[in-house]
Amino acid sequence: MTVNRSFVLCAALLLGLAASVPAARAQQSSRLDEIIARGTLRVGSTGDYKPFTYLDKATNQFSGFDIDFAEDLGKALGVKVEFVPTSWPNLMKDFEAGKFDVAMGGISVTLERQKKAFFSEAYLREGKTAIARCENKDRFQTLEQINRPGVRVITNPGGTNEKFARANAASAEIKVYGDNTTIFDELVKGNADLMMTDSSETLYQQRLKPQLCAIHPDKPFDFAEKAYMLPRDPALKAFVDQWLHIAKESGAYQAIYAKWLQ
């Protein structure tokens, strides 16, 4: 029987490729594998957004709702947690540079961020609303009342708050204030009329500062969700989603929510 030489060569080549596929897959490790092998979960956080994340510069210690969750995620992974300071203007740059494995700290899900990252399942549903001195709250019930000349809107730079303010209050006077940890003091002092931010933050800040009132936080101006921003690694996303699901079902989520958001 005559065997076609080309057929034999092609068959050998295909067999060689098939044999190499499992080896190639074995060499590919996920970010999840890397974190476990490293023994450290690097968490990027801005440290300026109470109650989700706050960095005490005197002690260099983070605290907040998402900081507690980061520690819980580290325990689930069996690794230590290392917090990596970032900022809202540099969040995506630092993320793309690989400075951390996950970003946590009141991060809103946006389509622009989704182009470059995965998000975990959402852990909080809310939206943007206003906060002002209590005597002025009736003046700023609608975007039409806010989007007027002479209205002084204050915002922190580089995040969804600034984007929302510029998109919906272009006729107002928009002041960008660089220190998000003291921005609400500007409202108390009367240096601005209002700030538009996430409804969860308005509720938290009105508890800290009785001079300020959240404006219809139960009916925000838009829809938004908070989640954890992850690299495009299906294994890591699957683990984080399952961990978050278990936390909600076991009561761990509710305990941390009650501590920071009620």
Tell whether 174 and 250 lie within a shared domain. no
Rounded to the nearest angstrom, the gap between the alpha carbon of residue 156 and the centroid of all alpha carbons in its chain is: 15
What CA–CA distance (Å, rounded) separates 202 from 158?
Answer: 19
Encode pLDDT of 204-231 as tens digits: 999 999 999 999 999 999 999 999 999 9
Mean pLDDT across the stretch 180-187?
A: 94
Q: Residue 40: what pLDDT?
A: 98
Instruction: Determine, yes or no, domain membership for 57.
Output: yes
What CA–CA distance (Å, rounded) separates 132 from 187?
Answer: 7
Tell whether 230 and 114 lie within a shared domain. yes
Indicate if the alpha-carbon torsion angle 223, 229, 231, 234 is positive or negative: negative
CATH code: domain of residue 40: 3.40.190.10
Tell whether 135 and 204 lie within a shared domain. yes
What CA–CA distance (Å, rounded) separates 147 from 84?
Answer: 37
**Of 102 and 2, which is predicted with more confidence?**
102
**125 bridge partner residues:** 225
**Of 104 and 1, which is predicted with more confidence?**
104
What CA–CA distance (Å, rounded) separates 126 from 26?
Answer: 42
Q: Residue 16: what pLDDT?
A: 53
Tell whether 133 and 120 lie within a shared domain. no
Give percent above pLDDT 70 in the chain.
Answer: 90
Instruction: Determine, yes or no, domain membership for 234.
Output: yes
Tell whether 208 and 250 lie within a shared domain. no
Angle at 204 between CA 91 and CA 217, to 5 degrees: 95
Tell whether 244 and 117 lie within a shared domain. yes
Determine the straight-line distance between the first and last CA of the chain, rounded to whole angstroms. Answer: 83
Tell whether 120 and 50 lie within a shared domain. yes
Instruction: Determine, yes or no, domain membership for 219.
Output: no
Tell whether 194 and 136 lie within a shared domain. yes
Tell whether 117 and 132 lie within a shared domain. no
Single out the residue of 141, 159, 153 nearest to residue 196, CA to CA. Answer: 153
Both tokens of 230, joined, read 């992850």
Encode pLDDT of 106-156 as tens digits: 999 999 999 999 999 999 999 999 999 999 999 999 999 999 999 999 999
Both tokens of 155, joined, read 């915002």
90 in Cβ contact with 73 (< 8 Å): no
Mean pLDDT of the chain: 91
Angle at 116 between CA 113 and CA 121, to 5 degrees: 60
What CA–CA distance (Å, rounded) separates 219 from 18?
Answer: 57
Single out the residue of 163, 182, 175 nearest to residue 89, CA to CA. Answer: 163
Tell whether 134 and 119 lie within a shared domain. no
Tell whether 106 and 230 lie within a shared domain. yes
Instruction: Tell me which residue range forms the domain holding 86.
Output: 31-125+225-261
Instruction: Determine, yes or no, domain membership for 23.
Output: no
Instruction: Determine, yes or no, domain membership for 12.
Output: no
Give how many domains the chain has, as a whole number: 2
What CA–CA distance (Å, rounded) separates 125 from 127?
Answer: 7
Angle at 161 between CA 157 and CA 165, to 5 degrees: 100
Tell whether 111 and 146 lie within a shared domain. no
The helix (run of H) or strand (run of E) holding residue 211 is none
Name the 3-class secondary structure at 150.
Answer: coil
